[in-house]
Structure 1
Amino acid sequence: MTQAFKTRIEAALNARKDQALFRTVHAFDSVKQSQISIDGRSYINFSSNDYLGLASSDELKIAYQDSVTKYGIGSGASPLVTGHSTPHRSLESQLCEWLGYSRALLFGSGFSANQAVLFTLLEKGDLLLQDRLNHASLIEAGHLGPANMRRFKHNDMEDLSRYLNGSQNTLVATESVFSMDGDIAPIDALLEHCRASQSWSMIDDAHGIGVLGEDGRGARSLSEHRPDILVITFGKAFGLNGAAVLCGDDIADYLTQFARHYIYSTAMSPAHASALSKAASMIQTQHWRREKLFDLSEQLHNKVSDLHCLVETKTPIKPWLCGESNNAIDLSNALKEQGIWTTAIRPPTVPKNSARLRITLSAAHHESDIDTLSYSLMRSMEAL
């Protein structure tokens, strides 16, 4: 490494440490239901995106094991070579029938799915309109892509309408549930604006699919209108990993021909696709998981409402606002001392002076877990 690179890297790392923004990867000994273990100590886990508790479900684990026995552990190639198999096609068909689309394309992650759509579909002279709080995968693709990007105020349809003049090809992109705030986008109003202006619509439903709606249809349960492009991810409510882009035939064919993330990536294994089919069935039929999330959410809000730090949401994502990054770190560490694992979220993931604990609930939690969390939060806030 040259001295110039070494100096640059050291300066950047030291700046992160000075600003209390330095991040560390933890290796967990075990993750089971709502419990995690690290360095021999167990914690109640309130930082997982496993909203429905499927990641450690015995029913899903057995289905995955059976799939591995039947199909092996790898796909061996990209989808356009020999990596696309019957389980992949079955999963795609199942998702299309459930969510009301003619085609679905599978990806290795939500990040790659979002970027594949924006990099591939947009050209120079197009207009990309994004909610200001969209995920980094969407915002980065907007900055690096050829289209002219504008960011409208968060969930502000009046601000969005200022850009919708119908004079150029326009794609409007938003999340359904925002991952750091837990609030829900006004999907119906946004789709109405897109229809009126003849703009494309794209919804990233990563944190909505499986959670919203009676059968877990996510964003599709929030409006009778269908977005042109729906991205769902499998690393949250599905309890696994990967993603899918749902769309019409023309867009799917276009992405198949030109989306480099799809063309040049090894396909997920057939066993994984088969397990995802099982997870999709569980999401649609095991309504008790969403009902339990609602009950746990009500319990938490009632327990800590007097502290005025918890943002009340209708999703499993419960931001606990701390302000300065050091405050979030101190509270997170205090909770860890009491056996509670919550992650401190700091800039640049969230805006400056809005550091927080991102508390997430799971159907795998028990009422006693919520009692413990509530007591620990109140005790820690008194001590800090």
Structure 2
Amino acid sequence: MGSIKAANLYRALRNVVVKGPIAVVNGREAIHLCSNDYLGLSQNSQVVKAAAMALTHVSQASSRLIAGNDPVLEELEGVLARHRRAETALVYPTGYMANLGVVTALADKKTTIFSDELNHASIIDACRLSGARVQIFRHNDPGHLEELLRRPGRTIVITEGVFSMDGDIADLRQICRIAQKRGAITIVDDAHGDFVFGPKFSGVPASFGVDVDVHVSSLSKGLGCFGGYVATSKKIRDLLINTSRQFIYTSALPDHLCAAAIAAIPISKKGHLQKQLSSNIKFLVSRLRKQGFTLGVSSSQIIPVMIGDEKKAIKFSQELLKRGVFVQAVRYPTVRKGSARLRISITAMHTKSHLETALDAFSAANGKTCLV
């Protein structure tokens, strides 16, 4: 652990109690700028009520292939399939397990996977576990992908829709065109774009008007609930049920969590929450730039304030918390060494007052640390 601490990469758990746009961090109340609850639906009274009314037991306490396949799971899968305009869907306990489950079922040592260099850790781990040959293409670079895809054989192209640490959006129009021309299976992890972007807020692929073979997503971000899912063809769903170890050998998602998601989806479709979210993003980005901060190339609610040095990132995060703003310093191995940043994530719950207070704290912390 000594070397980790010396490199300013040490991490420790904090006590965090979330109260919507506010978090109590180690007993200190602060504006919460770390949440993935982009639309605030985890706090929605209708969603909470739906979960409470369905809570007759804590869990099915079984895998779905044994005794845990409550009908509400299949009801949720039907809603999610329609949401993604897919033939069918399959729910996993988490988005992480969904990525592992899909990739390890579809790929083997005879497969070549082409993966964006900034893909999430769950995708990286899934590729490794599959035993496939992995080729990394430069971040969001369709031209480089096309060069690499000249290799013959069974191929998979996998990317995120909205990248979790940079907040930029994949060029799915070109990526999918190239993949389909080469006969590659396309997988898009759209955890951070789902319920936020696209027509009827059905995600980044829909916003580009492209078809992908497998949509992987989360219920715990834009939807504010819990769990992960895959939307795909009936043939692939059947394959996952029969070969995906991450689906077969784990307990089913509890039915009250399914009920919460079912209640949250129609609320997410109304659009007023995304409108408020968009307004908050524009306001904060504009003001941070006026203060002189260097922001990443984000086109989303994930706003990286680029710092570079790991020690400076930690110091700045600490100074912000002292001033009542909770933003985590993101460092290696989550991002490259020397590219540490503060990862701001905005939600529809934040008011202008919250954001003004946060901006004042950024200005004061900058005065203390001389970042810009």
TM range (shorter): over 0.9
**What letter matches 1:100 in structure 2?**
R
Q: How do 1:247-262 and structure 2 match up within 5 A?
A: 247-262=232-247
The one of 41, 44, 61 equivalent to 2:28 is 41
Of residues 136-145 and 195-204 in structure 1, the stretch that sits farther from structure 2 once superposed is 136-145
Secondary structure, counterpart of 1:128 in structure 2: strand
Map 1:150-299 onto structure 2 (within 5 A).
150-165=135-150, 167-285=152-270, 287-299=271-283
Q: Secondary structure at the match of 1:209?
A: coil
| Deviation per residue, 1:61-105 (Å, 9 max, x gap) | 111111114xx2211210111111111011000111121111211
Cα displacement string for residues 267-303 of structure 1 (whole angstroms, at most 9, x for unaligned residues): 0111111111111121112x11100111111111221
- What is aligned with 1:24? 12
Deviation of 1:379 after TM superposition, in Å, equals 1.7
SS in 1 for 2:42: coil
**Deviation >3 Å, runs of 4+:** none
Cα offsets for 1:3-52 (capped at 9, x unmatched): xxxxxxxxxx1111111110011122x31110111343211100111101
CA distance in 2, matches of 1:334, 1:367: 22
1:118 match: secondary structure: helix
Structure 1 counterpart of 2:347, from 362, 365, 368: 362
Matched with 1:83 is: 68
Distance in 2 of aligned mates of 1:41 and 1:144: 41
2:269 alignment partner, SS class = helix
One-letter code aligned to 1:171: I
Q: 1:311 aligns with which of 271, 296, 303?
A: 296
Tell me how far 1:220 sits from its aligned partner. Answer: 3.2
Which residue in 1 is equivalent to 2:2?
14
2: distance between equivalents of 1:219 and 1:38?
33
After TM superposition, the score normalised by the length of structure 1 is 0.93
For residues 282-330 of structure 1, the C-alpha deviation after alignment (integer angstroms, 9 at most, x for no partner) is 1112x11100111111111221213132235321100001111001001
Q: Secondary structure at the match of 1:173?
A: strand
TM-score normalized by the length of structure 2: 0.96
Structure 1 contact 211–315 (Cα < 8 Å) conserved:
no
Residue segments in structure 1 that go unaligned for 5+ positions in a row: 1-12
Contact between 1:132 and 1:153, CA under 8 Å: does it hold in 2? yes
- Aligned partner of 1:67 in structure 2 is 54
Distance 2:71 2:144 in 1: 45
**Cα shift at 1:228:** 0.2
- Between the aligned partners of 1:199 and 1:102, the Cα distance in structure 2 is 19
CA deviations over 1:157-215 (Å, ceiling 9, x no partner): 00000121262010000000000000000011111111111110000011000111242
Q: Secondary structure at the match of 1:267?
A: coil
Distance of 1:38 and 1:248 partners within structure 2: 43
Identity of aligned residues (%): 30
Cα RMSD of the aligned pairs, angstroms, is 1.2
Q: Which residue of 2 aligns with 1:50?
A: 37
SS at 1:291's partner residue? helix
Deviation at 1:241, TM superposition (A): 1.5
Tell me, in whole angstroms, the C-alpha distance in 1 between the residues paired with 2:209 and 2:27: 50
Counterpart Cα distance in 1 of 2:115 and 2:37: 27
Question: Secondary structure in 1 aligned to 2:313?
Answer: helix
Aligned to 1:301: 285
Aligned length: 368
Structure 2: which 5+ runs fail to align?
none
Are 1:130 and 1:173, in contact at CA under 8 Å, matched by a contact in 2? yes
| Aligned AA (1:75) | Q
Could you tell me how far 1:377 is from its partner in structure 2?
Answer: 0.9
Distance in 1 of aligned mates of 2:51 and 2:159:
32
